[in-house]
Each structure stands twice: as structure tokens, then as C-alpha cells.
Amino acid sequence: MTLRAGEEKKLIEKQVQIIIPFLWNGAIFQKKFWGDLNYIVGANGSGKSLLAEQLKNQINGGGLNVRYLNAERLTGLEKQEVGYYGGGSLRRGFDIGQLENYKNQAESSGLSSSAIIILKQRLDVRTRIEATLSDIFGKTIRLDEQGGYLKAKMQNILIGEEYGLSEGECHGLKELITLLTFLYDPTKNCIIFDEPELHLHPQYQSFFLQEMRKLAGNPLLDPGKKMFFIITHSPYFLDLKTLEDLKNVIVCQRNHLPTFVEIMDQESEYVLSRFLPRFNTHHKQFFFSSNPVFVEGYTDQQILSILLEKVNINIGASGSCIIDVGGKDELAVFKLLCQQLSIDSRVIADLDAIFRGKLRQTANENPKTQEYVQKSGIGTNLSQVIGEFETKLSELLSLFEATTNIPHSLDILKNELSILSNEEIHTKRLCILKAIETDREAFLSSIGSQQDGKLRFIEGRLQKIIEAFAACRIYILPKGEVEHYYKTTLVQQAKAQNKDILFHSEREYLLSVSDLTRIRSEYHDLLGVVNQAVPIVEIDVRKHIKFEIFEWIHRVQTGIVRQEINNIEDLKRNAKVNYELYKQILEIVSFNVFENRTFNCQIKLNESLLGMPIQVDFDQNTTAHIFTI
């Protein structure tokens, strides 16, 4: 990592090398420079907590005194009687003669119970906690010593009634009290908080983060400052105000090393620095998603999300989400950012992305795009291919602008062309593509049938360009924009007008339609693009129900062969058939056993599991493992 002038003063140097073989297949995670406020994010099961536990051991020392609070930290402060949890019996409290022992055990186990002992021993910390409780919650905390035991008690200031912290207070307040205690405790200057958002209301998450920011700094240079690591699933904690904050994010993913941003080009950094003030909780989802899908605007995001829901595609099952970023250049920057973080991102972009902007450059520089272009035999690189395409398209544009033989179906596009300036050449080219898509035969007749060869070249090359973009997971909308796929209004211009009005009309229509077949038919073309872009995991309950049913059929067949089952009553009470268990997924409609030990049985499967009533017939000849439902 190359540091810019002045950066070395902000960063904390601590070489870390971590191996988790069963997660990373022997690869080593290495990082040398850290911020004062570091974030560890990623999906469940991606190794965040395991990484943090090793971080604690490797960072501790050399001037840093580390405390790690794990996600089970409230053990010992909950309502149940737990026994020896690093803090004594909850009902009695902390044995005063064992305070240091309890404190050390809780600290080594990453538990919060030692916070009560810190509050007892540190008047400065307790005063700050009492001020917070009083001014925000209208409560006070009192540490009561009785019979050699220390117990934390709470009091509602308005009502005056006192009660035990462990058994009477909510998880959220216990969480906040202990988090703030460790935050303010001056004996540790580096703290790893594992999911500090647990039990906390979003506003109190933001409050706690602001308190951390007040203390965040380089403790090796300023003893009054602390270094923090936050393991989180909460976008409220992932508060990125500067590019330096962004570079302090470590992204964990299943089956490969954690990643972080090291170097970005100046143009990307400029776009991101302009975007960060608009970086809201919705945008931050990509840090927690293994397959984020970026779109340009909120109208695109809304329409696509509703459409997927209507056709029963739950993209969350694949760790995906649809995120709007506000512009084409932003699409490119987020794509590049995900490449650095090894996040398998996708982009759904308007057709004009192939003519201009950073997204085109991003696609051109991607090795997968280059490989596709060369293997398909259309050129050496994407820029060259698009350049030739634009030249041919401009030839058709000149012919179309010059003709007076304009079919009625293309009037709107001709008028749109007439008001565009020569500087708006990209939009003019879009008009030509839209004219071809709207009425190919009418367009060809207007420019002359002898131009059919050029027209075929344009159509074929456009498809190849779209496929080249798709090679690096940038999916272009062939019709132009999402609005060109709307059903409530036929958008005929190359660039849709009054998008907000169109959006609300289309949104209401989509929400009102419940016919799945109709939705799939009307939005067939748009779903074709979306299904390429969005990773889909289908949860096939039917397949697993089938496994259970053929197992049950085999049991019934065996019971009849052994003459253990002679009628429906035998079947229902036979322990091996276990109808009491299986009737949760099936119901016997009819059952008959004949003298020659043949039989027939009809069962009805649970409609709530499959979404429809299904009946299954079987007999002694049914091959259980190949039957269908």
C-alpha cells in the first residue's frame, strides 16, 4: 500500500497476518496500516468474529491494550439464573472478594459483566454513565453492597421505584450501559466491538457511534484517544464520511480472504467523495451483500424490486439486493469498488451507457470483456468495436435526418431528433436505435431498402456489444431505459420524459396486478435482462417433500408385504410407518388392502407447504424413488 503525504500520521501501523484454514484454504490475510475506527462487515458465516479474535491477539501489545467484546457478551446480565458466568450468581450479585477474578474471567471471555465492576471501581466512568442514563432515559443506576455482594440496581426517576438491573431492565439499556462503560474505561485503548448494534434502537446506535468518534484517534500518539474495530451488520454503524473511512472497511466473504480498498484512481476518488454525502443506509447494503445489483435511479430500483417480488423471486436468498446510486459514473465507481473488494457485483444500465461515461471505460478495461470481444472475432477491444459501431450508426443517422419520407410510426423520434443539437450526438444515435427497435421495416423504407446490409450490421453488432458488457456483469437494457418496458404508457422517445409521473403510474399498476402469468407475459423482455443480472436461488420445497413421501411409501409397502398392515387402522398405528409424524405433511384419502396383498392408497399433500392441493396415488408397484408429485 502506497501512502500519500500526511496519511502515515493518521494511520496506525501494526502488521497482522492471520490464517483461518477452514475458511480461506491456507491463504493468509495481511494488513499493515489501520485507521482509528475500523469496520469489519460481511454475511453470516463469513468469519468476522474469528478474524476479530485473532486480531485481538496480534494487535495487543506495543502500546495497544486490547479488549474484545463478543456477540454473547450479555451472558451474566440476563434475567435467568445462570450460575458462574464470570460474574457470580445473578440473584445474589458479585462476591466482593472475587471482583478481580470475575473481572478477569469476563474480560478473557469477551463478556459484559465486568462492566459492573468497572463502574464500582471507576468514579469517572460511573459519573458519565449516570449522566447519560439520567438525561436520556430518566433513570439512575446504583451499585448496592449487601452481605458481601455487589448488585447493580436501577431506578426510574419519575416513579422512584428501584429494581435489579439483571432481572428488571431491558436488553437495550443493559447493552448501552456496558458498551459505554467499556468505551469510557481508560485502562484499554483499543476495543473490538462484535455487533454493538445488538438490542439497540437505530438512534442509539448512532448515539454510540458518535461517542466512539469523540474518542477515536491514534493512542500511540495521543494517550487520550482509542482505536476501535466494529464488527457489524448495521448500516447505521457503517458511517462513512470520508474516503479514509471507506478504506478502513474490511469485507469478509465466504471461502476467500477478507478484502479492503487500498488504491483508487483520482477520478474514482473524486466521484466517491462527491457521492459520500448522499451515502445512506440503502447504499451501504452492498457491503453486506455477496451479489449486489446496482441501478442508476430510485425509480429503476423500485420497479425492478416490485417486479421480482411479483414473480416470487426472493433475491435475498442469494445474498443479493438492488441498490440505486444516482448516475452512470456512480455505477462505474461502485463496480470498480466492488472489484477491489472481491464482491461479485452486477450492474443494470441504460442503453446509452455503451456510448459514453465511465461505465463504458470500466467495461473496456475488464479482462472478461476483452476476452469475449477477441473470442467472438469482432475486434481487439471493446472501445474499437463501439467506435466502428458508432460510425455505422452515424451513417444511418445522416440518411434518416435527410429523408422526408417519414412513416407515421416514427414521427415522435423524428421530432425528437430535430430539436437535438449536433453536440448531442449520443442521444441522436439512441434515437436511431429506438427507431429500429420501434418499427424496423418503416425505418428501412425511409432510408432505402439498399441500406438493409448496414441495418443488419447495426443489429448484430449491438447484440455483440451487449453480450460483451454482460461478460463483466454489466447488463444493458436493449430497449433503452426501464421506462421503455412500462405497460401503462408506451414510451416512444429515445430518452423518456416526465419520468416521475410515468414511474408512479407504473408502480401503482404493478402493485395492483396479482396474476403471475400476466406479469410474466407483460414484462417478459425486462425479466429477461433481470434474470441474467440477478442471481436467483430457488427454494424447492417440493423436492424435499418428495424425498419424505417416497420414504413413507416404502414404509407402507414394506408393512403390507410383512402383513403388519391389513387396513387403514393398522397403517395409522404402525410405529414404523409413523403416520402420527407424517400426517403433518400428508393426509390419507383412501386405503385398501386386498387378499393377494395388493393395495391402493391415495393421499393428499399439505397445501400450505406446496401452495396448491396435490394428490398422490400409489400401490405395490409404485417405485418410490422415481415417482413425481
Residue 456 pLDDT: 95
The answer to whether position 77 is within a domain reads yes
> In degrees rounded to 5, what are phi and psi of residue 340?
-65, -35
Residue 463 pLDDT: 97
Residue 627 pLDDT: 63
Task: List the grid coordinates of 235.
Answer: 448500516
Residue 88 pLDDT: 44
The answer to whether position 239 is within a domain reads no
The rounded distance, in Å, linking the Cα atoms of 436 and 434 is: 5
Is residue 314 within 8 Å of 522, Cβ to Cβ? no
Would you give the end-to-end CA distance of the chain in angstroms? Answer: 58
- Do 555 and 522 belong together in one domain? no
- Do 526 and 547 belong together in one domain? no
HEC-encoded secondary structure of 4-44: CCCHHHHCEEEEEEEECHHHHCCCEEEEEEECCEEEEEECC
Nearest to 523 by CA among 338, 333, 311: 311
Write the CB contacts of 306 (distance below 8 Å, at least 6 apart in sequence): 507, 510, 511
Is residue 159 within 8 Å of 166, Cβ to Cβ? no
The answer to whether position 162 is within a domain reads yes
The rounded distance, in Å, linking the Cα atoms of 604 and 613 is: 7
Beta strands, E only, 353-484:
474-476
The rounded distance, in Å, linking the Cα atoms of 600 and 367 is: 61
- Do 516 and 548 belong together in one domain? no
Residue 91 pLDDT: 58
The domain total for the chain is 3
Looking at 154, 188, 222, the residue that finishes a domain is 188
CA atoms within 13 A on the CB side of 457: 16
Write the CB contacts of 3 (distance below 8 Å, at least 6 apart in sequence): 11, 33
Distance of CA 422 to CAs 388, 397, 398, Å?
A: 19, 12, 12
Which stretch of DSSP H or E encloses residue 191?
strand 190-194
The answer to whether position 378 is within a domain reads yes
- Do 96 and 169 belong together in one domain? yes
- Do 518 and 432 belong together in one domain? yes
- Do 413 and 510 belong together in one domain? yes
- Do 461 and 437 belong together in one domain? yes
Is residue 236 within 8 Å of 206, Cβ to Cβ? yes
Residue 81 pLDDT: 45
Which domain covers residue 76, as residue numbers?
Answer: 68-188
Residue 363: CB atoms within 10 Å: 29
- Do 504 and 412 belong together in one domain? yes
Looking at 168, 188, 208, the residue that finishes a domain is 188
Length of the chain: 629
* Helix 524-533 and helix 298-310, axial crossing angle in degrees, nearest 10: 100
- Which residue shows C-alpha cell 476501535? 228
Q: What is the mean pLDDT of each run of 10 residues along the chain (629 residues)?
A: 49 91 86 94 84 91 90 56 44 78 78 82 91 87 84 83 77 84 93 88 88 94 94 86 89 88 82 82 86 94 94 84 89 89 93 92 94 94 95 94 89 90 91 93 93 95 97 96 95 91 96 93 96 82 86 93 94 94 93 93 88 88 73
Distance of CA 231 to CAs 234, 247, 254, 263, 583, Å?
A: 9, 15, 16, 23, 44
- Do 474 and 609 belong together in one domain? no
The conformation of residue 226, written as its DSSP 8-state character, comes to B
Nearest to 336 by CA among 240, 275, 283, 269: 269
> In degrees rounded to 5, what are phi and psi of residue 341?
-90, 5
Helical ranges in 403-451 per DSSP H: 411-418, 425-438, 440-447
The answer to whether position 566 is within a domain reads yes
SS3 160: coil
The answer to whether position 321 is within a domain reads no
CA atoms within 13 A on the CB side of 239: 14
Is residue 61 within 8 Å of 158, Cβ to Cβ? no
Is residue 139 within 8 Å of 157, Cβ to Cβ? yes
Helical ranges in 25-158 per DSSP H: 48-59, 99-109, 114-121, 123-132
- Do 584 and 549 belong together in one domain? yes
- Do 594 and 616 belong together in one domain? yes
The answer to whether position 143 is within a domain reads yes
Is residue 122 within 8 Å of 185, Cβ to Cβ? yes
- Do 549 and 466 belong together in one domain? no
Looking at 501, 533, 565, the residue that finishes a domain is 533
Residue 560 pLDDT: 95
Residue 85 pLDDT: 42
pTM score > 0.85 for this model? no
Residue 234 pLDDT: 85
The answer to whether position 24 is within a domain reads no
Residues paired with 226 in a beta bridge: 216
Residue 610 pLDDT: 80
Task: List the grid coordinates of 587.
Answer: 393426509
Residues paired with 593 in a beta bridge: 599
Cα torsion 588, 590, 592, 598 to 10°: value is: -70
